[in-house]
Amino acid sequence: MQEADLLLYNIGQLLTMDHGNGPVRGREMGKLQVLHNAYVAVRDGRIAAVGENGELQNWSAGVRLNCEGKLVTPGLVDPHTHLVFGGSREHELALKQKGVPYLDILKQGGGILSTVRMTRRASEQELFEKASFHLDRMLAYGITTMEAKSGYGLDMETELKQLQVVQRLQAEHDMDIVSTFLGAHAIPEEYRDNPAPFLQQMKEMLPLIKEQGLAQFVDIFCETGVFSVSQSRDYLQAARELGFGIKIHADEIEPLGGAELAAELGAISADHLVGISEKGMQMLAERGVIACLLPGTTFYLGKPTYAPARKLIEAGAAVALSTDFNPGSSPTENLQFIMNLAALYLKMSPEEIWHAVTVNAAYAIGYGEEAGKIKAGRKADLVVWDAPNYLYIPYHYGVNHVHSVFKNGKRVFAKGASM
C-alpha cells in the first residue's frame, strides 16, 4: 500500500502533457495524449504518481477527491503579463470607440504613459495590494505559474519598486512568478524629444537588477515610435552579456523586424507577432524561439488581423499563448477566454491550444522543467475543470470553467467556496 496526502480519482480525462522533451513544436502540437479514468497521487506537494483508476486499491490517502469524470490538467502558465501597475484606463475606452489608434493615444501622453503617472504615484504597498487582487483572480482562472513585467516606472526608483513588488508577490502568494525587467517599455514624457539618454539610463540599471536578482529576463517594446530594431539590439545585447534571458515585444502593431532580431539574439520568446514576416517565422522556428501569441490584445484593440498562428505552426515553431494582462490593451486575467480567441481567430486546434497554455508557455519563461506537465516529481499544480473533456474549454466561452485549483498540492481555489 502506498501513501499519498491527496488523491484525485475518477478523472474522466487527464492531460499530463508529458510527452517528449523541450517545447512542443509544429505538427507535434496537434498530438495530445489523453488518459481516461485516471488518478493523480500527491505527496509532500509534489506529484507522486499518475495512473488508472484500476490501481486505486494500491493507495491510501489523507484526502480523496472524487473528480466524477471531470477533466484534469496541469495548472495553466501565463507567460506575458504586466501585472504590477497603478490605476486603470477605462477612460480610454471612449477614445478607442472613436477609432483613435493605440499608438496615437500613447503619443498624446496617454496609454502606457498614463499608467506610468499612476504607478509613480502609488506606494509599494498599494501596488502590492492591487497586484495581489489581480493575481488571485488569475489563480481562480487556473493559472499557477506566470511571468510579470515591470515597465510602468520608466525611472530607476519606480522600476525597482515594481520589481520589488513582484519579489514580494512571489514570497507571499501561491503562484510561481518569473520576473522580467521592461524598463524599455515607452519613452517617458521627460525624455520625449531625446530618447537616447533614457535608454542609456535603463541600460545602466541592468547590473544592479542582476546583482539583486530582481529579474530573470529583459524585454523591450520594439515598435514604431517606441524603440527601433537597432536600439533594441544594442540594449538587449547588453542584457544578454550580463546573463539575462531575452524577450521582445515584436511586430505587435507594425512589422518592424522584431522577430528576426529575437532569432538573431537567441531570445527565449518573441511576443505578439501580428505583423511578423515570412522570414521572421522561418527564423523563429529554426532558432527555437518560442512564438508567444496574445490574441486578447488584437481583440481588444479591435484589429482585423490576428497573428499568423497556423503559418507559425506549419513553419515548425513552438507557439505559446498568454493574456498579456495589462490596463491598456488587454485588461483581462482570463486565460480561458484567450483559449477561445485562439480557437476562433488563430484557428488553432484544441490540442495545439492546450500545449500553448501549459508546456510551451512554461518553456517561454524558462520554467519548462518545473511547470506545465503532470509528472512524478514535479510540483502538484493541478486544475480540476467543470468540463467533460478538453475540447470543452476552447469551445464554451466567457465563463470560468474551474472547479478547483491546486498549487503545490494545496487547494488554493474552489468554486463556490470563500478561501
Alpha carbons within 13 A on the beta-carbon side of 178 = 27
Which residue has the closest beta carbon to ligand IZC? 328
* CA–CA separation, 227 and 280 (whole Å): 18
Nearer of residues 111 and 409 to ligand IZC, judged by Cβ:
111
Residue from 82, 134, 203, 379 touching ligand IZC (CB under 6 A): that is: 82
Answer yes or no: are the C-beta atoms of 259 and 250 closer than 8 Å: yes
Q: Is 216 in the site for ligand IZC (CB under 6 A)?
A: no
Q: Is 299 in the site for ligand IZC (CB under 6 A)?
A: no
Q: Is 13 in the site for ligand IZC (CB under 6 A)?
A: no
* CA–CA separation, 271 and 32 (whole Å): 24
Based on its alpha-carbon atoms, the radius of gyration of the chain, rounded to whole angstroms, reads 21
Nearer of residues 99 and 377 to ligand IZC, judged by Cβ:
99
> Where does residue 378 fall: left (phi above 0), alpha (psi -120 to 50 degrees), or beta otherwise?
beta
Residue from 153, 327, 350, 372 touching ligand IZC (CB under 6 A): that is: 327
188 binds, among Zn ion, ligand IZC, none (CB under 5 to 8 A by kind): none
Q: Is 150 in the site for ligand IZC (CB under 6 A)?
A: no
Answer yes or no: are the C-beta atoms of 184 and 221 closer than 8 Å: yes
Answer yes or no: are the C-beta atoms of 23 and 368 closer than 8 Å: yes
Q: Is 83 in the site for ligand IZC (CB under 6 A)?
A: no
60, three cell numbers: 491510501
Nearer of residues 92 and 324 to Zn ion, judged by Cβ:
324
Count of chain residues binding ligand IZC (CB under 6 A): 10
Return phi, psi of residue 35, to 5°. -95, 135
CB of 329 to ligand IZC, least distance (A): 4
CB of 322 to ligand IZC, least distance (A): 12
Q: Is 326 in the site for ligand IZC (CB under 6 A)?
A: yes
DSSP 273: -
Q: Is 332 in the site for ligand IZC (CB under 6 A)?
A: no
Nearer of residues 51 and 195 to ligand IZC, judged by Cβ:
195
* CA–CA separation, 408 and 29 (whole Å): 27
Helix ranges (H only) for 266-333 are: 278-287, 295-300, 309-314
- The residues in 156-185 that bind ligand IZC, with binding defined as CB under 6 A, are none
CB of 151 to Zn ion, least distance (A): 8
Residues that bind ligand IZC (CB under 6 A): 82, 111-112, 115, 221, 249, 326-329
Residues that bind Zn ion (CB under 5 A): 324
